[in-house]
Structure formats: structure tokens, C-alpha cells
Amino acid sequence: MTTTAPVSTDPTRTLRPTGTGQHTESDGVRVDVPALTDVVLGRYADLRRSARELFTEDRFWKIEGQTVPEHRTRVLDQLRTLAREGNVHRAFPERFGGADDHGGSLARFEELVTADPSLQIKAGVQWGLYASAILHLGTTEHHDRLLPDALSVDVPGAFAMTETGHGSDVASVATTATYDPATEEFVLHTPFRAAWKDYLGNAGQHGTAAVVFAQLITDGVNHGVHAFYVPIRDAATGEFLPGIGGEDDGLKGGLNGIDNGRLWFDHVRIPRTDLLNRYGDVAPDGSYTSPIASPGRRFFTMLGTLVQGRVSLDGAAVNAARIGLDIAVTYGNQRRQFPGARPTEEVVLLDYGQHRRRLLPLLAETYAAGFAHEHLLSAFDDVFSGRADTEAGREELETLAAALKPTSTWHALDTLQACREACGGAGFLTQNRLTSLRADLDVYVTFEGDNTVLYQLVGKRLLTNYARTIGGDPAVIARMMAEKVTDAALHRMPLARAVQTLVDAGDARRSAGQLRETETQRALLADRAHTMVAELAQALRPARRSAPDVAAALFDAHQHEMIETARAHAELLQWEAFTRGLDQITDSGTRQIVTWLRDLFGLTLIERHMAWYLLNGRLSAGRARTVTSYIERLLLRLRPHAQDLVDAFGLAPEHVRAEIASGAEGQRQEEAREWQRAQRASGEAPVPEKKPGR
């Protein structure tokens, strides 16, 4: 029989010419793939490469279809392997085997998503949250006593912050830690069901200790949320210690290698010295002291360590989007469907206009998110290394993380879904990775700060900064008012725009030329981001002099705009980072192609928000039409380089692990076409029922 055996589904094989320099030339330019990979991998390229090298080993990979107990056990074992071999303690002090390298540590951590997102998040719980809380909120005695076992995973630990009744609103957690001077102990207590700690990694099964966040009460005063070290399970038996109980969170939409669970405390007594007391301490007599006088500032300082989770999720989301695009673009370059202009030749998917429209803007946005992440990671390292650890620096970092984490995690989900659909039924098979990765990434948009809540935080910061600017300089107010008036005049008197429309209509080519210019894109994006803040500030101004309920209603009425304002800010940040990133590309052909990609990103944003630009008189109808037609031109220009642009992510087949991206599809298509060519050549092919002229 002529049916061939199934092609190898060994996920490690590839037919792609990666790293060979055999890249597609079009429009007289081509991508220097290895050089672009260096740029993509950024400041920590070497650390990322060594992490990726480690994760080419299948002992770190997710095994699809494992039962929950098998998967959990595997991930715990992998975690301990990483503790021994994985260079995962870089963020910790040298005396604990680390390197005080915060940025580098996160860079490596972000690459873990290629192995198994469950392993990434379990590592994040153990080292990024649990051990990190001991490091940042505890003092030397805690470090010496608790860090070694936390780092080695001899003590798997939970980070017990979230409660069933309080997710993003940490200030309102209801668990109490009441100091008893008689015994010099804190009494931890869960007053009602909604105050159970919930969704905690390591709490469902493996954790033997936890850092518990609770309202610290001493001498009748609540000093706000503090962190306490609490042993929770007998390591030998796995049973909860007396007074402690909980539940397994059970099956989840993804990340089932992690044992999320719930915890409650029934008057559990812990020594006074198990308060992690860097930012607040209780003396034996019950008196409270803190180096930070303001309870509000103290709370935000203690929560400051959380930012590293957001930073790393931003980076992991970018990596997940890269994997998705690697799969869909590779498949889209091999897969043929429906006859084209020549009836004997089926069309490659990426040669369909809609397929390009679906995937290439996502590719552009993934590059943008990658460059923005490198910027965020540098800012993070500047603060955490101490080089720029000022209050302003921390605030800036938090705002940056709160802006980028939602943007990139939502982008990752959109991208993985678009890639899965672009691969049709094959995309739905687990062997092609996309559905599994999307399921695991799903929760990234609501944990470590719900995306909507984070955008709102950004919106508030933007308003505060705006108020500061205005407050500081009367000249600025005057200028802003003048601009405001100009806006209003434009809005009420569209005759001026009318003229512009007429002019534009006469010169579409010049208009496209302008859109290609960096300064035009910047002006359009920045103008929108800044105007939205100013308008929001204007709309909320009456709240200052209103009763709380009136003010709350006003804020509520503008919550949607506040969130859209934050999104506009985040998109501008991404575009600016992408634009700065272009400077790092030395090869002129590569820079040309990646500049087209940046243009595609910028123009896609402008097209997405076109109604705003038209409504606010920033673009005439004529120029607006040019945006879409220029996007179409860019898609055609970029199409020949699409494979090189995903190859430049530098992912090995061992990171991608999708049968359809292994070259198998290309082989199947080639075999089919070869058979058809042979049939035609043989002269024995059956003729169609109605052949022309027959």
C-alpha cells in the first residue's frame, strides 16, 4: 500500500532552517535572525540562554494528560531539582548561595514557562513569594533560621495573603493576629468562612509552613496587615497542625501541577518572634513600633515585594505568546488549504489576507510587549538592587508593572486563542500545545493583582501625577487650559477640520508617508494617552468637593474611562519601548523589517482607537482611511519575513513542542503534492466529470 507510516511526532525534530542564515529576502532586505535574537533576549541574554538550555531537558517538561496527583508530585520533584541545579536562588543574598541578582533571577524564571507553567508558578510561590517574604519582610534572625529550608524546598511554603472574601483588596483581610503579652505570643484566628485563606499554592497538599498575612492587633489597636511565619503541617505525616485546617481547591482551569488550597486558623498561637518584623515590631510588653510612621505607607511598603510577581508574569506572558506565534506562523507557512489562482495549487495559509490580519499584528504586539518587558525588568533591577531604590523609583516601578502585566497577559490569551483558531482542528489537539498553554495562562490575568484592578491603580496614579503637574506650575495650567480651549474650538468648529479633509483627499501618498514617521505615531499615541488623563481629571474634579457617596458615584460613572486611560498609557509605553528597541538593531535590513513591524504595531493601535481620533478631531476621515490601507501594505511587506521574525524568538523545538510546528505538516503537504504531480504526469488520473471542452 502507498499510505505512508505516520510521520514522526517526536516533538524535538524540526525542518526549519534556524540559525543557518538562510533567511527569506524580500524587498531587498532580510532578517539577520541570530542578531535579532540577541536583541530580543535583551539585557539578560546569557542568563536566558542558559535557562533555555536547561529547559530543553524533558525532565522539566509538562507531561500532558497526567492525573492531578501525578502532575503535582512531578512538579514538586522538579522544584527540588531546580533548587539543586537550576540557579534559582540568584535573587537571594550570597551567603544563602544567591547572587543578589534580582533582574537576572526573574529573567531565568520567566523562561520556565516554556517547560511547564505549573512549574513556573510553583517556583514563584516558593521563592518569589514565600522565601521572598521572609527575605524582604523578615530580619536577620528569620533569614538565618528560615531561608535555607525555604530555598532548598525542604519546607514548601504557602504565601497566605488572599482570602476567599478578599482577593485584590489585601488591606481588608479579616484574619487577625492578636498579641498576648502574658505568653509573648500572637494568636492567629479566622473569624468567619470568607476569611479563610484561599487559592494558595502549596496550601492544598505540600506546604509545611506559610507566611500568613493578618491584621496585627496589640493593646486594642489594629496596626494593619503584617506577615507572620506559621508552621502548618507536620512534615512527616502531612497532617495539619493543631488549630489549623483547610481544603484543597481541587481541579482548576489550568496549572493543575500546583496544589492550591485554603487555610483557616482557630486561635493558633505562635511566638512573638515569628512576626516578620522588618517594617513593624511588637515588644514583649505589647508596644508596637515601626520605622514607617504612616500605616498607609507601611502597608504599601510591605506589599512592595509583590511587584516582582507582576514583573515576572509580564515576561512569562510574552514568552507564552512567542510560543503560540512560533507554532501558528510555522504551520501557516506550511499548511495549504483551498485551491488558489492555479487550480492545481492550494494556497499556503499565510498567503490569505485574513490569516495575515489575524497573526501579524499579534506578532508586532508581542515584539512590543517584549521590549516593554525588558524596560520593566531593568526598572525592577534598578530598584531591587538598591541602585535606584527611592520612593519615586518604587512608585514608578509599581505603576509600570501595573500597566504592563495586564496588557501582556491579556495579549498572551488573545494570541494563544488566535493561534489555536488559526491552526483549526489541529490547534485544538493537546499535542499541538496551544490549548494547554492557554489554559495554564488563563489565571495570569486575575492573579498577582486582577488586571482590571491594576489598570485602575494605573489610572489613579496617572491622575495623581497629573494633579501634581498642575499643582506645581501655574504656567502649565495656563497652557493646558489653552489647549483645552483649542480642543473645544476644534470640536465645535469642524470647519477647520473640513479644510484638512479636503487637503488630505488630494494626497493620500503623503499621508501614508507621514504615518510611517516615528514622530507622527508618537504624537498620535501620546496625545491620546495624555488627553484622556486630562479629560478624566476634568470629569472627576467635582468629586473633590462632594460628599463621599456623590464622589463614589462620580468615580463609578468614570471607571470605564479610567481603565481605558490606563490601557492607552500602557500601549504608549509599549510603543516607546519598541521604538527605543529599534536602536539596538545594527543590521540595516533587519532594522528596516523590524521598523515595519513597529509601524504595524503603532498603526494597529491607531486603527483600534480610530473612533477616538476621529471624534476628537485628531485625524481626518481621509487620513484615517490611509491608516487601514497602510496596514494592509505593511502586512504584505512583512509576510515574507514572518518565519524569520518568529525564529528570532530563539525558541528551540524542545521549547515549542508542537507536532504541527515540527515540520511534519510541510512534509505531509509535500508528499501530497508529489503524489498529485505524479498522478498528472502518469496520464492515468481520473478526469473530472465535466472537464471543459469534454
Q: Which residues are catalytic?
A: 448
Whole-angstrom Cα distance, residue 264 to residue 329? 48
- Segment 593 to 622, residues that bind a copy of itself, using CB under 8 A: 607, 610-611, 614-617, 621
Whole-angstrom Cα distance, residue 440 to residue 112? 13
Contact track, a copy of itself, 90-129, x by CB under 8 A: ----------------------------------------
Q: What are the C-alpha distances in Å from 637 to residues 23, 35, 326, 596, 641?
A: 15, 21, 19, 8, 8
Q: If binding means CB under 8 A, how many residues of this protein chain bind a copy of itself?
A: 130
Segment near a copy of itself (CB under 8 A); pick from 92-100, 300-308, 415-423, 575-583: 415-423
Segment near a copy of itself (CB under 8 A); pick from 320-328, 379-387, 577-585, 666-674: 666-674
97 alpha-carbon distance from chain centroid = 29
Whole-angstrom Cα distance, residue 694 to residue 688? 10
Answer for the pair 437, 346: CB distance below 8 angstroms, yes or no.
no
Answer for the pair 118, 436: CB distance below 8 angstroms, yes or no.
no
Phi–psi pair at 522, nearest 5 degrees? -60, -45
CB of 84 to a copy of itself, least distance (A): 31
- Segment 277 to 296, residues that bind a copy of itself, using CB under 8 A: 288, 295
Residues 6+ apart with CB under 8 A from 359: 325, 328, 329, 332, 350, 418, 419, 422, 642
Among 120, 273, 415, 436, binds a copy of itself (CB under 8 A): 436
221 binds a copy of itself (CB under 8 A): yes
Find the helix or strand (DSSP H, E) in which 455 lies: helix 451-472
Among 174, 463, 503, 652, binds a copy of itself (CB under 8 A): 174
Among 354, 386, 387, 692, binds a copy of itself (CB under 8 A): 354
447 binds a copy of itself (CB under 8 A): yes
Contact track, a copy of itself, 536-555, x by CB under 8 A: ------------xx-xxx--
- Segment 618 to 647, residues that bind a copy of itself, using CB under 8 A: 621, 624-625, 632
556 binds a copy of itself (CB under 8 A): yes
Segment near a copy of itself (CB under 8 A); pick from 27-35, 349-357, 386-394, 584-592: 349-357
Residues 6+ apart with CB under 8 A from 447: 199
- Segment 192 to 211, residues that bind a copy of itself, using CB under 8 A: 192-196, 198-199
Answer for the pair 488, 440: CB distance below 8 angstroms, yes or no.
no
Best CA proximity match to 45, nearest among 57, 34, 33, 37: 37
Of 197 and 278, which CB lies nearer to a copy of itself in the complex structure? Answer: 197
Side-chain-facing half-sphere of 521: CA atoms under 13 Å: 28
Residue 151 corresponds to which amino acid?
L
Among 162, 202, 205, 312, binds a copy of itself (CB under 8 A): 162
CB of 610 to a copy of itself, least distance (A): 4
Side-chain-facing half-sphere of 459: CA atoms under 13 Å: 25
CB of 509 to a copy of itself, least distance (A): 18
Contact track, a copy of itself, 450-489, x by CB under 8 A: xxx---x---------------------------------
Among 53, 77, 247, 389, binds a copy of itself (CB under 8 A): 247
Of 392 and 495, which CB lies nearer to a copy of itself in the complex structure? Answer: 495
Whole-angstrom Cα distance, residue 324 to residue 5? 28
Segment near a copy of itself (CB under 8 A); pick from 83-91, 309-317, 527-535, 682-690: 682-690
DSSP result, 194-235: GGSEEEETTTTTT-SEEEEEEEEEETTEEEEEEEEEEE-B-T
- Segment 486 to 505, residues that bind a copy of itself, using CB under 8 A: 491-492, 494-495, 497-498, 501-502, 505
